[in-house]
Amino acid sequence: MLTYQEALAQLLGRACPVSAERIGVDESTGRVLAEDLVARAPMPAFDHSSMDGYAVCTGDLVGACPWDLPVIGESAAGGEVPTFVPGSACRIFTGAPTPHGTNAVIPQENVVRTGNTIRLTEAPKSFAYIRKCGDDLAEGAVALHRGTRMNPGHAALAAALDRAFVLVARRPVVTILCSGNELRSPGTPGRPGTIAESNGIFVAAAARRAGAIARVGAYVLDRADVARDAVAEALRGSDLVVTIGGVSVGDHDVMRGAFEAAGVTLDFWRVALKPGKPIAVGHSGQTHVLGLPGNPSSASLTWYLFGAPLVRMLQGDANPLPRRERIAIDGTIERSAGREEFVRAKLESTPHGTRAKVLSNQASGAVTSFARADVLVVVPHDTGRVENGSVLEAIRIDEF
């Protein structure tokens, strides 16, 4: 079996970014830039005041303090820039351009004004309270790089660059097929032995959070011909087809055979991973195929470990993988070495700092674990029993 890292590298190595589209900057949050955003002019574009106060020339403050200066002119944001009279002070407001000839702003609370005269008792430093032209970005500088996943701050910066539209990767289309004779829609009546389908709900929601358009197909019966036709149909117009269930070795596990019958080339099957060993990965042309196991925790975990990074890579995301951190665990983990394990845990504040409390139910069929977990604690393949207080790598689930 491949290790998780080997399998992930093979999967992402086949990923080719999807095409790009131009959208309004106000709709860009969550999307991945398909171009560098370059400053076409300095930012800020002119010297301006960061305070309400008075613009002066420090060279005019000669001799011993205090200095009395007449107030001549006013500069307000969006208004005309007054002509500065040497030896005077110009009233100025936050965001207003500094008049030519001034090189410092004195906050209004630091002066005493009597009529049209201000008194200074301390000389300001040159360029005090002035945001200089190009302080943030020089003309021609790259403000945001291609591959950036836009957040609200990025969108605001793009708007400040005077960009009404930006070029982003289109949303990859993910089609999800849930297989099993026992499945029924949540909230609908069913015969004994049926279960409300939840894996498709999870994968669709997680795929959308990763930036995809998610489509959930009709439930697929455990019949080879039905599964083959469902896969063949899903391949049309999809960047990624995700099947859930039917990829193991049971008599009713028909999905791997359906892949081959539908023209999918299987790249690998099974990964040294817990939970989630029976995962199938393949492709048909440029369309990727992920066959996830049917147990809820296994399906959820393998989506996070393989599906989410793939969707991000398809968008050209410069950081498709979640960040890892080291954290002490609260609890023990009984296990046999041999497979890398991702243990569901909940973050808790303790007198010793934040710890990851291991959830008691780690069964692959537990639906509750991902509803309660904050982090995945990574146990290396060659590690056996993990003692309370051990420090291990962990991935916060909101990183996916």
Q: Annotate 49-61 with DSSP letters as a single string.
A: ESSSEEEE-GGG-
How many other CB atoms are found less than 10 A from the CB of residue 50? 13
**How far is the C-alpha of 199 from the C-alpha of 296, rounded, in Å?**
6
Check: CB of residue 29 under 8 Å from CB of residue 155.
yes
Which fold, 20-42+137-169?
Molybdopterin biosynthesis moea protein, domain 2 (3.90.105)
Q: Which amino acid makes up residue 64? A: A
Q: In the chain, how long is the greatest CA-to-CA distance?
A: 97
Q: What would the pLDDT profile of 62-121 be if each residue is shown by its tens digit?
A: 999 999 999 999 999 999 999 999 999 999 999 999 999 999 999 999 999 999 999 999
Render 117-176 in DSSP notation, one character per residue: EEEESSPPPTTTTEE-TTSSB-TT-EEE-TTPBP-HHHHHHHHHTT-SEEEEEPPPEEEE
Span 284-308, pLDDT tens digits: 999 999 999 999 999 999 999 999 9
Q: What gap in Å lies between CA 132 and CA 255, rounded to an integer?
A: 63
CATH fold of 48-131 reads Molybdopterin biosynthesis moeA protein; domain 3 (2.170.190)
- Which residue in 191, 144, 188, 116 sits closest to 32, CA to CA? 144
List the domain boundaries for the chain: 4-18+171-314, 20-42+137-169, 48-131, 325-399
The third-level CATH classification (topology) of the domain covering 325-399 is Beta-clip (2.40.340)
Binned at pLDDT 50, 70 and 90, residue 352 comes out as confident
Q: What is the pLDDT of residues 26-49, one digit of tens each?
A: 999 999 999 999 999 999 999 999
Q: How far is CA 56 from CA 120, 123, 335, in A?
A: 11, 10, 72
- What pLDDT does 246 receive? 83
Confidence of residue 369 (pLDDT cuts 50, 70, 90): confident
pLDDT at 250: 62
Give the mean pLDDT of 199-223: 96
pLDDT at residue 191, as a whole number? 87
- Encoded tokens for 198: 């939840």
Model confidence band, residue 236 (pLDDT cutoffs 50, 70, 90): very high
How far, in Å, CA of 358 to CA of 247, rounded?
29
Task: Specify the pLDDT at position 335.
Answer: 92
The per-residue pLDDT for 249 is: 63
CB 111 within 8 A of CB 120: yes
- pLDDT, tens digit, 9 for 90 and up, residues 303-348: 999 999 999 999 999 999 999 999 999 999 999 999 999 999 999 9
Asked if 247 contacts 280 with a C-beta cutoff of 8 angstroms, the reply is: yes
The predicted-structure confidence for 245-262, as pLDDT tens digits, reads as follows: 988 766 667 898 999 999
The closest alpha carbon to 344, from 331, 279, 354, belongs to 331
Fold match between domain 4-18+171-314 and domain 48-131: no
The model's pTM is 0.90
The residue among 351 and 244 whose pLDDT is bigger is 244
Spell out the CATH class of 4-18+171-314: alpha beta
Which string of DSSP letters, residue by residue, matches 314-370? HTT-S--SPP-EEEEEES-B---TTSEEEEEEEEEEETTEEEEEEPS---TT-SHHH
Is the pLDDT assigned to residue 280 strictly greater than 90? yes
| Alpha carbon distance 29, 16 (integer Å) | 22
Measured from the Cβ of residue 1, the count of other Cβ atoms closer than 10 Å reads 14
Q: Is 41 helix (H, G, I), strand (E, B) or coil?
A: coil
Q: What is the mean pLDDT of residues 188-213?
A: 94
Alpha helical stretches, state H, 139-288: 152-160, 199-209, 224-235, 255-261
Predicted confidence at residue 289, as pLDDT, reads 97
**Radius of gyration over every alpha carbon of the chain, rounded to an integer in angstroms:** 30
